[in-house]
Amino acid sequence: MVKLKVTQVKSKIGTKQNHRDSLRTLGLHKIRQSTVREDTPEVRGLIHTVRHLVVVEEVK
C-alpha cells in the first residue's frame, strides 16, 4: 500500500478555519512537522484543501 508523507511548510496563521481544521486532522501542528498517512480519497481531499501549505511525497 502506498503511503503519503505530508510536511507542513507554511504557517496556518491567517488562514480559514477549515484549513486549520484540515491541518489538525492530518496531524500537523508546526512548520516542518511531517506525518505519514495512507493514500485514501479522504486524505487526498484534506491535502487538496491545504495544498498551498504542505508538501506531499510518496513513501513505499
pLDDT tens, the chain, 60 aa long: 899 999 999 999 999 999 999 999 999 999 999 999 999 999 999 999 999 999 999 998
- Residues with Cβ within 8 Å of residue 41, at least 6 apart in sequence: none
pLDDT score of 60? 84
pLDDT of residue 38: 96
Helix axes 17-26, 41-49, angle to 10 degrees: 140
- For position 31, what pLDDT does the model report? 97
What gap in Å lies between CA 53 and CA 26, rounded to an integer? 12
> Domain ranges in the chain?
3-59
CA distance 24 to 60: 24
d(CA 49, CA 22): 7
Write down the CATH superfamily of domain 3-59: Ribosomal protein L30/L7 (3.30.1390.20)
